[in-house]
Amino acid sequence: MGGKGHTKPAGETLSEAERARFADLLGAVAIRQDRNAFAELFAYYAPRVKSYLLRLGADNALAEEIVQDVMVTVWRKAGLFDRAQASASTWIFRIARNRRIDLFRRSKRPELDPEEEMVLPSGVEAPDARVEAMETEARVRAAMKDLPEEQVLLLKLAFYEGLSHSEIAAKLGAPLGTVKSRIRLAFAKMKARLGDD
Amino acid sequence: MIRITQNAELDDATRAALASGRAQPALDLFIETLMEMRGISETEGQAIAGAALESETPVDLSADALAMTFAAIERGGALPTREMTYPELGGLPVRLREAVLAAEGKAGWKTIGLGIRSLDLGAVGGLKAEIIRVAPGTTVPRHTHKGRELTLCIHGEYLDSGAVFGPGDFSYRDAAEHHEPKALAGAPAYALAVTDAGLKFDGLLGMFQALFRL
């Protein structure tokens, strides 16, 4: 398979054209059970989902098992993918994220941190977000490119890896208050950027 | 009892918990259902996670991983097309509907009183999620819970502690508060209930305090 998944350098997000291509591939899986399309999706996403699971503390065997489950689910539910609502990456991440339950079951990962304080509520989400989802996907990537590396790391630790603020503080050796205010700042910058143009 | 009908206001920590799936599964299911029923979407948080997956360092899989996945796909066949026991629940948000179908394939609905049935959605990590069905006009006898309880009306309407609950309304109740909810006449009422058996809500309440300013 000359899947472009293998050649894309690590650390980079997909371009708009590549996101469109992966959405097309999911469509091909949904409409005609296209195995080549699936193989290309697999080549790109399976090694990344595996990396995600290892990050969450799965061992190699468990990670491989869950990756397989996630990709089987991608095949079976491809018909439910709606490119107007999310990118293929976001959709596949949701599937992987929902399998975190298996990690909960098999390990003693802490639940929500009871000591964690919540930061102040921000504004109410607009209900018409659906039409803007594609736009959001593009702008989130642009913002992540522009933000300082440290802030991107904080967003990833919180939104992707799901570490609590106190876990992030411990991991980075930074005071909890600093972590909270920086995450708030990074997310606010992203929101401000999303509000642009 | 606290009844909540206004829309949610999400803070960053809650957004992060929802995007990453860090919350306990029962609560995560509850919040996702609630948000979908109220038309609240959280696209930025999810898009951050999706973009982070793209920037992830790939880790090689075993050589036969793709072949094994195709084999699993062939073993699995088509998605099961089981009918729901109660067709009126067909319009539920997709994740809850799937949880209902999965639970109906296991222990299924149990009668717990006259006109009252429950469906255990299973528990991981200390919180229990179940759906309670109350026949039209039926009152659930006065009771308390061992722990605290979050209850979301998912179909029909019921009267509880003087307030009417319709789809998308939910309440939070402390242990030892008595109540006797009653389904309104005309249609069965369904609620998604998450309980903690008195032990586990502390860390989770923070999320609800932030989410709904309890």
Query: Per-domain residue ranges for chain A?
Result: 4-106, 129-195
CATH topology of domain A4-106: Rna Polymerase Sigma Factor; Chain: A (1.10.1740)
Residues 6+ apart with CB under 8 A from B185: B136, B137
Give the SS3 label for residue B183: strand
Domains and CATH numbers, chain B: 1-214 (2.60.120.10)
In the predicted model, what is the mean pLDDT of chain A? 81
Helix (H) or strand (E) holding A138: helix A129-146
Which has the minimum average pLDDT: A168-177, B45-54, B173-182, B202-211? B202-211
Q: How confident is the model at residue A3 (pLDDT cuts 50, 70, 90)?
A: very low
More confident residue, B158 or B82: B158
- Answer yes or no: do A90 and B46 touch at CB < 8 A: yes
CA separation for the pair B13, A112 (Å, rounded):
11
- Nearest chain B alpha carbon to A192: B44
Taking the mean position of all CA atoms in its chain, how far away is CA A171?
Answer: 20
Q: Are A44 and A4 in contact (CB under 8 A)?
A: yes
**Percentage of chain B lying above the pLDDT 70 cut:** 80
* Residue contacts between A and B (CB atoms, under 8 Å): 229
The tokens 């999320």 sit on which residue? B207
Q: Is the pLDDT of residue A110 over 70?
A: no
For position A109, what pLDDT does the model report?
A: 46
Query: Which residue in B7, B58, B125 is closest to A111 by CB distance?
Result: B125
The class that CATH gives domain A129-195 is: mainly alpha
CA separation for the pair A89, A86 (Å, rounded):
8
CA separation for the pair B10, B18 (Å, rounded):
10
* Residues A26-52: tens digit of each pLDDT: 999 999 999 999 999 999 999 999 999
For position B174, what pLDDT does the model report?
A: 75
B contact residues 119-158, partner A, Cβ 8 Å cutoff: 124-126
* Residues A47-79: tens digit of each pLDDT: 999 999 999 888 999 999 999 999 999 999 999
H helices of B55-176, in order, are 65-76, 94-104
For position A29, what pLDDT does the model report?
A: 97
In the predicted model, what is the mean pLDDT of chain B? 82
For position A12, what pLDDT does the model report?
A: 86
Q: What is the 3-state secondary structure (H, E, C) of B19-49?
A: HHCCCCHHHHHHHHHHHHHCCCCCHHHHHHH
- Answer yes or no: do B8 and A124 touch at CB < 8 A: yes
Neighbours of A97 (CB within 10 A): 23
**Which residues in chain A are contacts of B194 at CB distance < 8 A?**
none
* Residues A121-146: tens digit of each pLDDT: 223 344 454 557 788 888 889 888 88
CA separation for the pair B136, A74 (Å, rounded):
40
For position B166, what pLDDT does the model report?
A: 92
Q: Are B201 and B148 in contact (CB under 8 A)?
A: yes
Give the SS3 label for residue A44: helix
**Average pLDDT estimate for B14-22:** 80
pTM score over 0.90: no
For position B141, what pLDDT does the model report?
A: 80
Q: How confident is the model at residue A111 (pLDDT cuts 50, 70, 90)?
A: very low
Which has the minimum average pLDDT: B11-15, B125-129, B195-199? B195-199
CA separation for the pair B127, A179 (Å, rounded):
29
- Answer yes or no: do A97 and B20 touch at CB < 8 A: yes
Helix (H) or strand (E) holding A10: none
The tokens 């032990």 sit on which residue? B199
Q: How confident is the model at residue A107 (pLDDT cuts 50, 70, 90)?
A: low
Q: Are B41 and A129 in contact (CB under 8 A)?
A: yes
For position B198, what pLDDT does the model report?
A: 44
- Answer yes or no: do A119 and B16 touch at CB < 8 A: no
Q: What is the 3-state secondary structure (H, E, C) of B92-119?
A: CCHHHHHHHHHHHCCCCEEEEECCEEEE
* Residues B98-130: tens digit of each pLDDT: 889 989 988 899 998 889 999 999 866 667 889
CA-to-CA dists, residue B119 to A33, B78, B113, B122, B133, angstroms: 35, 25, 13, 9, 8
